[in-house]
């Protein structure tokens, strides 16, 4: 899948750009755009109102989505199309070669 390909390349590029290597590998990161098709699932209005009134000291009730049910909505992606990527950051080749 193209989206995963560019996301993996960007993660690798970001990681190597953060390190001080004498001979860095390809450190290109990409700005990726895509069309996502899917739906948004949400908790009931009653649960949402209860969560809105909750303070940060209250226990999490687990009646939502995600980690420990903390979130009132979730995205359910059904397809990804029209993936495009543009190189966003690139270490010049002259910087990666010894002088």
pLDDT digits (tens, 9 = 90+) for 36-75: 999 999 999 999 999 999 998 999 999 999 999 999 999 9
Separation of alpha carbons 35 and 37, rounded Å: 7
Q: If you average pLDDT over each of 15-19, 22-26, 49-53, which comes out highest?
A: 49-53
pLDDT at position 29 over 90: no
**Domain locations in the chain as residue ranges:** 2-96
Provide mean pLDDT across the span 1-27. 73
Strands 29-42 and 73-89 turn out to be antiparallel
How large a percentage of the chain has pLDDT more than 90? Answer: 49
Q: Is 11 exposed, middle or buried (0-12, 13-18, 19+ CB in 10 A)?
A: exposed
């Amino acid at each position: 899948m193209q989206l995963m390909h560019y996301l993996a390349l960007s993660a690798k590029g970001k990681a190597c750009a953060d390190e001080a290597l004498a001979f860095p590998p390809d450190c290109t990161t990409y700005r990726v755009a895509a069309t996502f098709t899917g739906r948004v699932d949400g908790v009931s209005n009653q649960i949402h109102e209860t969560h809105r009134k909750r303070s940060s000291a209250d226990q999490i009730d687990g009646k939502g989505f995600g980690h420990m049910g903390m979130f009132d909505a979730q995205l359910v992606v059904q397809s990804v199309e029209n993936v495009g990527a543009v190189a966003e950051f690139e270490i010049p080749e002259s910087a990666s070669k010894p002088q």
